[in-house]
Amino acid sequence: MILILGGTGEARELATRVPAISSLAGRVSSPRLPVGEVRIGGFGGVDGLAQWLRDNDIHAVVDATHPFARQITANAFEACEWVGVPFLILRRPGFTPVEGWHWVDSVADAARYLHGSRVFLTTGRQDLAEFANCPQWFLARMVEPPEPPMPQQIEVLLARGPFTVDGELALMRSHGIDVLVTKDSGGEMTSAKLEASRQLEIPVVIVRRPPLPSAETVTTVADALAWLSGVTSR
């Protein structure tokens, strides 16, 4: 049996191509569910995941989690090493960089070095607290309603991609946005805001991805399938 660590479009696509158990963290109240068997909720750290891999007779793990889901990827790498289960990271490429983007190493740095007065913030609900002491006005888009702490001046927009360039242009114009703060998540679903920012000549502050563990890594579902067929035919 194969375990897919999910929460992304790539994970859902992989689950349509290979029999597997998909795992979701359970952060979203109505998640887009992958086809096939699904389990929801944390494993209880590295120990819990290692035990779960043994109990469920898992032969390979594909970590197709979000590029900023750092903890689960680190845990899965370690647990697979312990148990001796082949481990692959499937990560979509980052956004194609545009000259002039201001790159930062963390969301905290994005908040620290923030210029502008009307911010379009798309880093997600879990990172909102980092901006709690910022004096700017925020349009913050996320999937689930946030909890405090958060910026004092904020309009929350609950929405889930894909987004279009026309839609992003209209949104940014109507809210008088003068800076975009986002993460280098990559993918087509959320890239329209970057094109809209380019057209409107709005500065972009973009958070670099966290480093990956030294595991085998691919960027496409096709390459993950090729790896799986190699592993399962051993």
Which residues of the chain form contacts with ligand NAP (CB under 6 A)?
5-8, 23-25, 27, 42-45, 48-49, 65-66, 68-72, 75, 124
Considering the complex, state which of residue 189 and residue 200 has its C-beta at the smaller distance from ligand NAP.
Answer: 189
Question: CB of residue 212 vs ligand NAP: minimum separation in angstroms?
Answer: 12
Question: CB of residue 70 vs ligand NAP: minimum separation in angstroms?
Answer: 5
Contacts of 69 (CB under 8 A, 6+ apart): 7, 25
- Determine the residue with CB nearest ligand NAP: 42
Residue with token string 């190699």: 230
Considering the complex, state which of residue 124 and residue 186 has its C-beta at the smaller distance from ligand NAP.
Answer: 124
Question: CB of residue 117 vs ligand NAP: minimum separation in angstroms?
Answer: 25
Considering the complex, state which of residue 38 and residue 165 has its C-beta at the smaller distance from ligand NAP.
Answer: 38
Considering the complex, state which of residue 19 and residue 45 has its C-beta at the smaller distance from ligand NAP.
Answer: 45
Question: CB of residue 145 vs ligand NAP: minimum separation in angstroms?
Answer: 16
Question: CB of residue 172 vs ligand NAP: minimum separation in angstroms?
Answer: 21
The gap between the terminal CA atoms of the chain, to the nearest Å, is: 14
Considering the complex, state which of residue 178 and residue 208 has its C-beta at the smaller distance from ligand NAP.
Answer: 208
Output b/e per residue, 157-186; b: 16+ Cβ within 10 A.
Answer: eeeebebeeeebbebbeebebbbbbbbbbb
Considering the complex, state which of residue 68 and residue 131 has its C-beta at the smaller distance from ligand NAP.
Answer: 68
Question: CB of residue 136 vs ligand NAP: minimum separation in angstroms?
Answer: 21
Q: How far is CA 9 from the centre of its chain?
A: 10
Give 53's Cβ-side CA count (13 Å radius): 27
